[in-house]
Amino acid sequence: MKSLLTLFMMLAAASCSTPAKEDAPNNVIALWTGEDSQLANWQMAGPGEFVHDGNTVYAQGGMGLYWYNAQAFKDFELELEWQVTDVSNNSGVFVRFPNPGDDPWVAVKEGYEIQICDTPAPKHDTGSVYSFQAATHLPTKPQGEWNTYLIRVVGQQYTISINGELVNSYTGDRSEHGHIGLQNHDDDSPVRYRNIRVTEI
């Protein structure tokens, strides 16, 4: 009887215990979320600059490349927000390019650019894989509001969503490993970015 009572008490204690908290995913990397410690992980290639303003970073001048130097990536999901002041603002998100040194054109020639610009012709508009494949449609928000990109890169498959809507699915043939960067295109394109995160797959 005593052994049965002991067993009952042990089972009751186990059922009332608080479950252990799950550890935060260790495959999510914050590239830019406004922390000063993240500044050392970014550097410019070419002219112009990116200016940090609280939890945002915005483009000035160009044509240059602001790239994440701490790590290159293979398969991943890249999520970020961007904001424009005019539909003609021009920028882009580069993926899978090698260390560019001081030459921003390395990203153009050896990686892929996911374009930001609501006015150009197909293959050069927002959601396109620049010069390779146009977006199916353009679900961007009015100027001054924040948009969200989700760029999934697995093997040679590039899947691009804007504000939760799938706009492009492209099969590439370039390197399957490389860096991530942002383009500063010209003085009239002060595109802002925030909440830049990568989830490694």
d(CA 175, CA 110): 7
User: 27-200 is classed in which CATH architecture?
Assistant: Sandwich (2.60)
Residue listed under structure tokens 């904001």: 83
SS3 150: strand
Strands (E), the chain: 28-32, 42-45, 49-53, 56-60, 64-68, 76-83, 91-97, 112-116, 147-154, 157-162, 165-171, 179-184, 192-200
| DSSP structural state of residue 141 | P
8 Å CB contact between 176 and 110: no
pLDDT 10s digit of each residue in the chain, 201 long? 444 444 434 444 444 433 333 444 678 999 999 999 999 999 999 999 999 998 999 999 989 999 999 999 999 999 999 999 999 999 999 999 999 999 999 999 999 999 999 988 899 999 999 999 999 999 999 999 999 999 999 999 999 999 999 999 999 999 999 999 999 999 999 999 999 999 999
What pLDDT is attached to residue 13? 43
